[in-house]
Amino acid sequence: MANLKTVSKKSKAQSMGMHTEVLTGRTQQKFFNPDEAENFYYFGTYDVDFNKRTDLDVKDMTAPEANKEIDNLMSQGYGTIVIKNPQGKHSLGVGILNKLNLIFEGSLGYFGMGSCDGPIVRINGRVGWSCAENLMAGKVVIEKNAGSCFGAAIRGGDLICKGSVGARTGIDMKGGTIIIGGDAGAFTGFMMQRGRIIILGDVGINLGDSMYDGTIFVGGEIGSYGSDAVDAELTKSDQDWLKRKLKVAEIGENFDVSKMKKIVAGKKLWNYDNLEPTEKKGAI
């Protein structure tokens, strides 16, 4: 149990800016300690070489077979894998927990690149619903359009769609950045808890509905605001960050970020107290 409010000296992780939370009351939360990084082990990960490259044609494979083969190639040290003929198959490239250059020459179906932590992915096509759900770290770039629930519940990483996306983009996201080059559908940022969403085009109704925290930047028209989503001032540092992010994302580099709207949580729906969730459970 730790009561961080009483900790006078910042932990190393805090000093490094890895988290900034100051929790009150008792908590069972344990933060990552960089000094113990060498003891940190991720099951099912591989040390791959980016210069070792191969192609994989998945035309006649099922999704489990294709994913198993990707895993097999990573175990052999391949760090750059080009997937041919994905043809809209569901659940391709899921659960990759190490660095990897993954290129899809075609489109993915639902749940593509779900639960990943680390890979850099380029999809030269479209993706279906729930692309990169639960992404922890890494970068996923989609050259065309994306379906609904794009980047649902991501915790980190960059998720970039150069085309338009469907409804509920960034639903329940807890970190990371989502960048949309085109338009976004209804309920974008629904119940988001942290992280940032950038939409260069228009966005549908109920933007940021019931968002707890985080920030949404919109370049085009907004259909309507969701419950508790409010405008905020676009600061100089916001603009600098947007410019840098768009440049790195290879998208909207010349976009006039000074005209973007910034939307945050009004926090009127907040009803927090000093109890931590684990203690609330105990009280019940």
Partner 1 sequence: MCGIAGLIHRGKSSNVGSELQGMLQALKHRGEDSTGYALYGDTDGKNFIMRFKVGENVGEGSSSVMEDVSVYDERKKIVDQTLAEMGAKVVKEERTLPYSLRYELDYNVKDLLEFSQRIESIPGVEILSMGKSLEVIKDLGNAKMVCDRYSLDKVVGTHAIGHARMATESGVDIKSAHPFWGYPFSDVSVVHNGQLTNYWNNRRVLENKGMRFMSECDSELIAVYIAEKMRDGATLEEGMKASLTGLDGVFTYFVATKDSLGMAKDTMAAKPLVLYESDDLVAMGSEEIAIRSVLPQEIDTYDPFDGEVKVWQI
Dihedral of the alpha carbons of 44, 48, 50, 53, in degrees to the nearest 10 = -90
In whole angstroms, how far apart are CA 45 and each of 77, 118, 182, 225? 11, 10, 35, 42
> Of 67, 80, 148, 215, which lies in the binding site for partner 1, with binding defined by CB under 8 A?
148
Does position 106 interact with partner 1 (CB under 8 A)? The reply is: yes
HEC sequence for 144-210: CCECCCCCCCCCCCEEEECCCCCCCCCCCCEEEEEEECCCECCCCCCCCCEEEEEECCCECCCECCC
Least distance to partner 1, CB of residue 109, Å: 5
205 binds partner 1 (CB under 8 A): yes
The answer to whether residue 177 forms part of the interface with partner 1 (CB under 8 A) is: no
> Is residue 67 close enough to count as binding partner 1 by CB under 8 A?
no
In whole angstroms, the minimum distance from the beta carbon of 186 to partner 1 comes to: 4
The site map against partner 1 for 45-64 (x = CB under 8 A) is --------------------
Task: Please count the residues of this chain forming the interface with partner 1, following the rule CB under 8 A.
Answer: 30
Nearer to partner 1, 97 or 184 (CB): 184
Query: What tokens were used for 7?
Result: 């900790």
Binding partner 1 (rule: CB under 8 A), the pick from 74, 91, 99, 109 is: 109
Write down the least CB distance from residue 20 to partner 1, Å: 35
By CB under 8 A, is residue 166 in contact with partner 1?
yes
Minimal distance in Å, beta carbon 139 to partner 1? 22
Cβ nearer to partner 1, comparing 127 with 242: 127
Span from 69-77, 82-90, 237-245, 271-279 in contact with partner 1 (CB under 8 A): 82-90
Of the two residues 112 and 252, which places its CB atom closer to partner 1 in the complex? 112
In contact, 96 and 119? CB cutoff 8 Å: yes
Examine residue 181 and tell whether it contacts partner 1 (CB under 8 A).
Answer: no
Identity of the residue, 163 or 220, whose beta carbon is nearer to partner 1 in the bound complex: 163
Residue 164 Cβ, how far from partner 1 at the closest point, in Å? 6
Contact region with partner 1 (CB under 8 A), list: 4-12, 18-26, 183-191, 269-277: 183-191
Chosen residue from 91, 145, 177, 215 binding partner 1 by CB under 8 A: 145
Binding site for partner 1 (CB under 8 A): 87-90, 105-107, 109-110, 125-126, 128-129, 144-148, 163-168, 183, 185-187, 204-205
